[in-house]
């Protein structure tokens, strides 16, 4: 049976009346969530005081957001992203001990079962863009190397597209690779300098961004998933600090600790040492994994 309401519905007691209808038998976590959402939603409506037309427009916006979603595209996740809610949920669920690398959002373009490659391989299969050497170490919070870490990496090409966005244009698994660290915990591979790119902005979420005077761009970055036995899995990026959108990421994924240095190497001796054909970018970035709880 429903719990007793707090009297008849009025503007003043609206949230109490709705919450009072939650049955005592409701699963406690669900009851807590619905109560919090109800109270905050009612408080927001009272602060905004929308007209009937504005409320209908809000409902139609959510309707169109749902209609835009399918197996390939999730417009509601995009909505969560642009409000910073995706990053907030990520932060709450990935609180790290001191010294451990920070996480950020996974993004929509991860591909499972990418082939594992020998350390030092080049993941840029079409040879386009500015060559980039990426290397570093995988350590624990005591500063010791972690052997056997699985490193899953992926990035955009020089035009700002992932391979899955350009089927038939980019080779399959272009700018993707899986590597595994040895006893010294080091990793190294070649890629291409990534470029900023827009999140999908042809739907209701993109229209909302435009109405707010916000751009849809994400700054240039590389994606990582790091997995090692006995350690928490880390989903993160590293960002180019000189990217023009570094301080205004559309999905708020940038964290100061994830800024990496993208150095242009033009010294002939270094070019020869690395076996490059000409100048290249170099990124050196270490990751620290938190022990598994």
Give the domains, in start order, of the chain with CATH numbers.
Answer: 14-72 (no CATH), 85-289 (2.60.130.10)
Tokens of 189: 């591979």
Yes or no: say if 231 and 101 are a contact pair by the CB < 8 Å rule.
no
- Per-residue pLDDT band at 6 (split at 50, 70, 90): low
Q: How many CA atoms lie within 13 A of 84 on its CB side?
A: 6
Q: Which residues share a beta bridge with 138?
A: 287
> 45: which 2 tokens?
């409506």
d(CA 8, CA 106): 46
> Would you say residue 1 has pLDDT above 60?
no
Q: 142 exposed, middle or buried (CB, 10 Å; 0-12, 13-18, 19+)?
A: exposed
- Among 187, 63, 170, 68, smallest CA distance to 125 is for 170
Count of CA atoms in the C-beta half-sphere (13 A) of 124? 19
Lowest mean pLDDT segment, chosen from 5-9, 45-49, 61-65, 99-103:
5-9
Separation of alpha carbons 4 and 10, rounded Å: 16
Counted residue by residue, the chain has a size of 293
Express each pLDDT in 34-72 by its tens digit: 999 999 999 999 999 999 999 999 999 999 999 999 887
């Amino acid at each position: 049976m429903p719990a007793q309401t707090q009297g008849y519905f009025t503007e003043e007691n609206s949230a109490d009346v709705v919450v009072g209808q939650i049955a005592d038998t409701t699963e406690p976590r669900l009851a807590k969530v619905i109560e919090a959402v109800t109270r905050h939603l009612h408080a927001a409506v009272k602060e905004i005081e929308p007209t009937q037309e504005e409320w209908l427009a809000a409902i139609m916006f959510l309707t169109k957001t749902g209609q835009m979603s399918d197996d390939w595209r999730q417009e509601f996740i995009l909505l969560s992203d642009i409000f910073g809610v995706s990053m907030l949920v990520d932060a709450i669920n990935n609180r790290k001990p001191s010294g451990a690398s920070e996480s950020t959002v996974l993004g929509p373009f991860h591909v499972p079962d990418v082939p594992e490659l020998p350390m030092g391989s080049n993941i840029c299969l079409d040879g386009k863009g500015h060559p980039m050497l990426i290397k570093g170490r995988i350590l624990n919070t005591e500063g010791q190397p972690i052997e056997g870490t699985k490193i899953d990496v992926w990035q955009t090409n020089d035009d700002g597209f992932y391979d899955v966005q350009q089927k038939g244009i980019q080779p399959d698994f272009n700018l993707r690779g899986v590597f595994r660290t040895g006893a010294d915990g080091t990793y190294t591979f070649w890629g291409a300098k990534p470029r900023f790119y827009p999140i999908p902005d042809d739907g209701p979420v993109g229209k909302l961004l435009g109405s707010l005077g916000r751009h849809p761009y994400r700054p240039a970055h590389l994606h990582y998933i790091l997995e090692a036995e006995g350690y928490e899995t880390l989903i993160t990026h590293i960002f180019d600090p000189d990217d023009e959108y570094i301080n205004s990421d559309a999905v708020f994924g940038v964290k100061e600790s994830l800024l990496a240095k993208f150095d242009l190497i033009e010294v002939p001796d270094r070019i020869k040492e690395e076996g490059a054909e000409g100048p290249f970018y170099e990124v050196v970035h270490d990751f620290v994994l938190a022990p598994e709880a």
